[in-house]
Amino acid sequence: MAGFRINTAMTNTIWEFSPGTNTWIQKTATLPVARGYIPTVTYFNFIWTAGGSDWNGTTLVDTNDSFKYDLVADSITTISN
């Protein structure tokens, strides 16, 4: 979920690994903001995020925004702090 292109920028894409084909599949849903180093937890059919990091061009910046990703609906919901 999201990630970091070294010395370039964070990303907002979501990928799913398919063990059967040993491939990564890009999901349609994206995070509303680009983030990297995101702490996550999976609970039932959801992935919950808690903060993460942004990149200002020279430094990682901690964030406190959170999101819920629905694995079945392939959708993102912003969680208010």
For every one of its 81 residues, what pLDDT tens digit does the chain have, with 9 covering 90 and above? Answer: 767 666 678 889 999 999 999 999 999 999 999 999 999 999 999 999 999 999 888 888 999 999 999 999 999 999 986
Q: What is the pLDDT of residue 15?
A: 93
Q: What's this model's pTM, rounded to 2 decimal places?
A: 0.84
Boundaries of every domain in the chain: 3-79
Q: Write out the DSSP string of 3-72.
A: EEETTTEEEEEEEEEETTTTEEEEEEEEEEEEEBS--EEEETTEEEE--EEEE-SSSEEEE--EEEEETT
